[in-house]
Amino acid sequence: MRRFFVEHPIKEEQVALKGKEHKHLSRVLRIKKGDSVILFDGSGKDFIGKVIKITENSSTIRIEKIAESNTESPLDLTLIMGIIKGKTMEEIIRHVTELGVRSILPIFTERSIPKWGKEEQKKRVKRWQIIAKEAAKQCGRTKPPEIFTILSFSKAISIKEDGIHLIFWEEETKGLKKILESVKYDNMISIAIGPEGGFSKEEIEDAEKKGWIPVSLGKRILRAETAAITAAALIQHIFGDLGE
């Protein structure tokens, strides 16, 4: 059954899809009156219903059943991602959404190449939120990951969050496997991945002082996007639900 995202919390029995979601339903997928679809609003529930009306500007769905989703990982995984130039951030957001990451915090680090003003930052975050919703819709998640506004590296590592904090550094000798064997299971994990140029030694030292554990992904240097996707997948496999 096809899934459609509704921007507001679904409370009514009949929901009218408009704009992009309506076009996708009626023109791209050519769904007809009487067909069943799933709506989701980011609350963690699936709203299963039937299309009862399609006009030029909207498609109306009558909700028939509400189901709790089982596509969310039990692991509360946050990705803190050094901003990369081009469209690579979009690629990362798409993939880590599929991997069940719950929150994404984009950060400017010492070696981040893009230098965006406030307006551009807002525009980017908005675009990434749309991408997260699209990816959630495609992979069957009912809650798109939360994408936070961009912070500086120092602010991000100073946030007092519970759980395990891992900072991925290609110069570290202790591997993820060893580190995860030595820590107690926790359902909250934050992972930090650097931009193209990586984290500086000073950034790693600052993070360590704040309780972050430097971790290696092995002997080869991975591109930032490969590192983010690999780290999310490995952790989701060990502590979450990937591969179950």
Nearest 5°: the CA angle 96, 99, 102 is 70
**Please, what is the minimum distance in Å from the beta carbon of residue 231 to ligand SAM?**
8
Q: Which of 207, 227, 229, 233 binds ligand SAM (CB under 6 A)?
A: 227
Q: Between residue 52 and residue 81, which ones bind ligand SAM under the rule CB under 6 A? A: none
Which CA distances in Å does 113 have to 82, 90, 110, 130?
Answer: 10, 16, 9, 23
Structure tokens at 164: 């395990």
170 is an interface residue for ligand SAM by CB under 6 A: yes
Number of residues that bind ligand SAM (CB under 6 A): 18
Q: Which stretch binds ligand SAM (CB under 6 A): 94-102, 130-138, 157-165, 218-226?
A: 218-226
Q: Which is nearer to ligand SAM, 136 or 180 (CB)?
A: 180
Residues 96-125 that bind ligand SAM (CB under 6 A): none
Q: Which is nearer to ligand SAM, 123 or 174 (CB)?
A: 174
What the block records as the tokens of 16 is 């009218």
CA–CA distance, 208 with 203 (Å, rounded to integer): 9
Does residue number 199 form part of the binding site for ligand SAM (CB under 6 A)? yes
Binding marks (x or -) toward ligand SAM, 128..167, rule CB under 6 A?
----------------------------------------
The DSSP-derived string for 58-104 is: -EEEEEEEEEE---S-SSEEEEEEE--STTHHHHHHHHHHHTT--EE
197 binding ligand SAM? (CB under 6 A): yes
Q: Does 240 bind ligand SAM (CB under 6 A)?
A: no
Q: Which is nearer to ligand SAM, 58 or 230 (CB)?
A: 230
Binding segment toward ligand SAM, per CB under 6 A, in 96-104, 125-133, 203-211, 215-223: 215-223
Paired tokens of 211 = 């309780």
217 binding ligand SAM? (CB under 6 A): yes
Contact, 101 vs 76, CB < 8 A?
no
Coil, strand or helix: which one is 166?
Answer: strand
Q: Which long-range contacts (CB under 8 A, 24 or more apart) does 47-55 make?
A: 47/6, 47/10, 47/15, 48/1, 49/15, 51/25, 52/14, 54/25, 54/26
List of residues contacting ligand SAM (CB under 6 A): 168-170, 193-194, 196-199, 216-218, 220-224, 227
